[in-house]
């Protein structure tokens, strides 16, 4: 619901100030929330990173599993060998020594080949590493879901922050023009001696403040739009507006305990921390398995060939057997690993409890906020009606001389503040409702589509409006005829 509900024959929404440079190429059609959400799901860098991380963790299971599968290794060498001998013997009684070189070949070539296959029969460490890798995949699934849900809420928040900033900026534009016109009227009245200079200065101070508020609103709009671009990697010329007929109601079911239970059972952050406990428990089991023996079957084949002394043929051998290994003493590292894993398990249990408590508290707070938002929207809506009536009464008093221009300025500021506060309340309700669903683990594309149905299809774009009288706030600009002297 907007000011058109209180101003008679109010024209349609004006177009707002351009906050982006004209050098960008922008799509012509207004984007709705679901379109932008799908763009984010396809293009968001953080989500793409989370997906790749999940695939990497999934591949880690195959890495661990490889230790339980057959292993085949082959090695070979080809070498040229040269031998050098300088040993000699002396003949008895001669006193002179002569060198005696072996008659064997001192230069020859060798070829060697080894082929070995092993199969783990009992390896508890590797088996538990596979189990841990599977637990890590379970945890990563929940973390990926949490990243996706966070992206959905970030996109929705950025989208509605744009609409929020748009409506606030619209109100600030109208406020600035209204007060600017009053400043002009005050100056004209001062020149003919109808009012004192203090009223002109009051009007000028109010105008300067309204101008500062408008500049701040422009900045907020630009920041909000750039936040959406960062999430999607795309820039949009216009987006669809939120309808006045948007339902403002308590969450269904309207039972806080139900939402708390949903958070405990479905919140992906809670489930990820719970899965982290199992990952840490697997780490303790891996450390304890370090004390157990390993058993493997093996078979190898060795081939060798050499041309030393002009020999012919080759040597070969094969071997098949079972190999066992029992760690007797590892310097205390196994016991230390068990202690380390136990502390990590204890830490993960505390992390889970902390996340569980945090989620419960956030769900309770968000449920209370959404419930309060329902009442706040209604109160803000009524505040616009009340401030509209107060402005009209103040104008009437100004015309008969019982109120001064400062009173009119204050009344107009109160009206536009009420309009801005109403916009804030509506968007707070939508974002808090989606945040409640996120904490309860129920935020998905279907939930975004439900909110998307509340959009009107009207474009909210960002070009400079035509100046003139085609303004749905026009009825609020005229403060009435000034009081006449002697009346």
CATH number of the domain enclosing 226: 1.20.1600.10
Has residue 408 been placed in a domain? yes
Has residue 426 been placed in a domain? yes
Q: Is the pTM of this model over 0.95?
A: no
Quick one: pLDDT at residue 71? 95
Say how far apart CA 106 and CA 309 lie, in whole Å.
9
Quick one: pLDDT at residue 169? 85
Residues near 71 by Cβ (< 8 Å), separated by ≥ 6?
Answer: 117, 118, 119
Has residue 376 been placed in a domain? yes
Q: Is the dihedral of CA 223, 224, 228, 231 positive or negative?
A: positive
Quick one: pLDDT at residue 216? 86
Has residue 280 been placed in a domain? yes
Q: Give the domain extent around 270.
A: 3-8+15-66+125-290+332-476
Has residue 279 been placed in a domain? yes
Residues near 173 by Cβ (< 8 Å), separated by ≥ 6?
Answer: 14, 16, 17, 214, 465
Has residue 325 been placed in a domain? no
> Per the structure, how many domains does the chain have?
1
Q: Chunked in runs of 10, what are the mean pLDDT values of the chain (487 residues)?
A: 36 31 44 93 93 95 94 95 72 50 68 95 95 96 96 95 87 81 76 76 82 84 83 87 89 92 95 96 95 95 85 85 93 94 96 96 96 94 92 86 81 87 92 95 94 86 46 47 51
Degrees to nearest 5, angle at CA 240 with 234 and 241? 135
Task: Write 180-186 long-range contacts (CB < 8 A, 24+).
Answer: 180/207, 180/210, 181/477, 181/479, 182/207, 182/405, 182/408, 182/409, 182/412, 182/479, 183/207, 185/479, 185/482, 186/405
Has residue 484 been placed in a domain? no
Say how far apart CA 276 and CA 274 lie, in whole Å.
5
Say how far apart CA 42 and CA 232 lie, in whole Å.
8
Q: In whole angstroms, what separates CA 425 from the centre of its chain?
A: 24
Quick one: pLDDT at residue 78? 94
């Amino acid at each position: 619901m907007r000011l058109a509900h209180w101003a008679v024959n109010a024209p349609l929404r004006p177009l707002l100030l351009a906050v982006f440079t004209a050098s960008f190429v922008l799509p012509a059609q207004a984007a709705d929330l679901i379109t932008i959400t799908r763009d984010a799901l396809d293009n968001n860098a953080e989500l793409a990173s989370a997906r790749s991380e999940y695939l990497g963790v999934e591949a880690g299971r195959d890495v661990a599993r490889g230790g339980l599968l057959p292993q085949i290794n082959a090695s070979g060498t080809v070498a040229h060998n040269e031998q050098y001998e300088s040993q000699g013997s002396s003949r008895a009684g001669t006193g002179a020594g002569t060198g005696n070189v072996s008659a064997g070949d001192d230069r020859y070539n060798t070829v060697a080949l080894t082929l070995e296959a092993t199969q783990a029969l009992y390896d508890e460490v590797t088996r538990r590493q596979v189990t841990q890798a599977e637990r890590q995949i379970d945890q990563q699934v929940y973390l990926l879901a949490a990243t996706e849900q966070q992206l959905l809420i970030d996109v929705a928040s950025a989208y509605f922050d744009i609409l929020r900033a748009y409506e606030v900026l619209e109100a600030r534009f109208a406020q600035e023009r209204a007060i600017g016109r009053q400043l002009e009227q005050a100056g004209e009245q001062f020149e003919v001696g109808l009012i004192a200079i203090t009223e002109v200065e009051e009007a000028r101070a109010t105008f300067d403040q309204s101008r500062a508020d408008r500049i701040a609103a422009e900045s907020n709009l630009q920041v909000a739009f750039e936040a959406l671009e960062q999430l999607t990697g795309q820039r949009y010329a216009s987006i669809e507006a939120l309808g006045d007929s948007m339902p403002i109601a308590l969450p269904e079911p309207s039972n806080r305990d139900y939402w708390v239970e949903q958070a405990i059972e479905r919140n992906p952050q809670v489930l990820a921390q719970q899965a982290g406990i199992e990952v840490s428990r697997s780490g303790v089991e891996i450390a304890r398995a370090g004390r157990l023996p390993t058993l493997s079957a093996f078979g190898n084949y060795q081939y060798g060939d050499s041309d030393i002394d002009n020999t012919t043929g080759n040597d070969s051998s094969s071997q098949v057997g079972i190999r066992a290994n029992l760690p007797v003493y590892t310097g205390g590292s196994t016991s230390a690993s068990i202690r380390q894993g136990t502390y990590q398990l204890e830490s993960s249990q505390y992390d889970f409890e902390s996340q569980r408590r945090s989620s419960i508290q956030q769900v309770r707070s968000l449920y209370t906020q959404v419930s309060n938002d329902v009442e706040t929207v209604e109160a803000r809506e009524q505040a616009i009606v009340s401030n509209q009536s107060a402005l009209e009464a103040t104008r009437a008093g100004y015309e008969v001389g019982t109120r001064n221009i400062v009173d009119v300025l204050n009344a107009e500021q109160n009206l536009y503040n009420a309009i801005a506060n109403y916009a804030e309340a509506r968007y707070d309700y939508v974002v808090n409702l989606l945040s409640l669903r996120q904490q309860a683990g129920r935020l998905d594309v279907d939930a975004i589509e439900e909110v998307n149905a509340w959009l009107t299809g009207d474009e909210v774009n960002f070009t400079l409006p035509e100046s003139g009288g085609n303004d749905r706030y026009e009825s609020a600009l005229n403060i009435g005829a000034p009081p006449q002297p002697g009346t």
